[in-house]
Amino acid sequence: MLEFLIRRLATVIPTLVFVSILIFGLQQLLPGDPAMILAGEDQSPELIAQLREQLHLDEPLPVRYAYWVGGVLQGDLGESVRTKEPVLQLIAQKLPVTIQLAVMAMLVALVIGIPAGVIAAVKRDTAWDHGATVFALGGLSVPNFWLGIMLIMLFSVQLGWLPASGYVSPLEDLRTNLASIVMPAFVLGTGIAAVLMRHTRSAMLQVMSADYVRTARAKGLSERVVVLRHALRNALTPVITLGVLELGTLLSGAVLTEQVFTIPGFGKLIVDAVFNRDYAVVQGVVLVTATAYIVLNLLADLAYFAVNPRMRS
């Protein structure tokens, strides 16, 4: 396992370098001059020239990239054009919100999706299987923003049980925090649960016909032990990959859901940055998101060893 981890870490660094080059290069293709945006109404040639020198915009592209990477390695992602705050500080403010929303949405997806997929596979072609399939199709078909609005109308407007929008930090009031995050987490989680259910069912159907499952049954093991200990553990490998990718998508920001529930997460941050041409914020958010994807894929590879004994050899 240690050798495998070292090999995977050896691929992470070149990947991060390539991603940083891609982010910086594509950023340069966007229209607009950051120096003119910073200058505001007083766009005198002297001020613009000073800002271009300060931001190293008068340097060649490779030199500017080196300055940017040097700052990133020191924890300096630049400064927001709009708020004049450090990008790292903005990300530190928004990231915990998105992490909590993403983790709770994944918990909803795992609690619903994997058991539903297992039951659908074990009880194939029964009412349980058909019901789980209908749920999966519904979860994939219903738009998140529509489901969010319906939940707000029911639980906030009609019943008055949950707040319609807003976000409160768990450090301030844990109960209010959970009340404000449960609906958006459910909205995001149901869509992912539908995908997990379909993949779990498909993987379980393949595993249930394997030789080692038939051998376990021939030994007289109970059906519960055969399904949970032998079949499910081997069927989870593709599900882990899918779950990691979905978690990375959530961490990048669920834009529509955050807008519907007015949650100040990554989605709102990057949308505002794009509209305001706040390039430093866009670069920082995309870099953090790409790094999160790479780290999550590394953790998924390590999780394979825990659920699949064959990979340990």
**Does residue 190 sit in the same domain as residue 69?**
no
Range of the domain at 167: 96-312
In sequence order, the β-bridge partners of residue 79 are: 86
What's the token pair of residue 220?
């007289």
Residue 133 lies in a domain: yes
**Does residue 290 sit in the same domain as residue 144?**
yes
Residue 156 lies in a domain: yes
- Contact call for residues 192 and 113 (beta carbons, < 8 A): yes
**Does residue 41 sit in the same domain as residue 104?**
no
**Does residue 186 sit in the same domain as residue 44?**
no
Residue 296 lies in a domain: yes
144-151 and 174-208 are packed helices; what angle lies between their axes, rounded to 10 degrees? Answer: 130
**Does residue 143 sit in the same domain as residue 195?**
yes
Reported as a single tens digit per residue, the pLDDT across 205-253 is: 888 877 777 787 787 777 778 787 777 777 777 787 788 878 877 876 6
Reported as a single tens digit per residue, the pLDDT across 54-93 is: 666 677 778 888 888 888 888 888 777 777 788 888 888 8
Residue 26 lies in a domain: yes
Reported as a single tens digit per residue, the pLDDT across 252-285 is: 667 778 878 888 887 778 877 877 777 778 888 8
Query: Rounded CA gap, 9 and 145, in Å?
Result: 38
DSSP symbols for 143-160: -HHHHHHHHIIIIIIIS-
DSSP 8-state assignment for residue 79: B
**Does residue 37 sit in the same domain as residue 148?**
no
**Number of domains forming the structure of the chain:** 2
Residue 84 lies in a domain: no
State the pTM of this model.
0.78
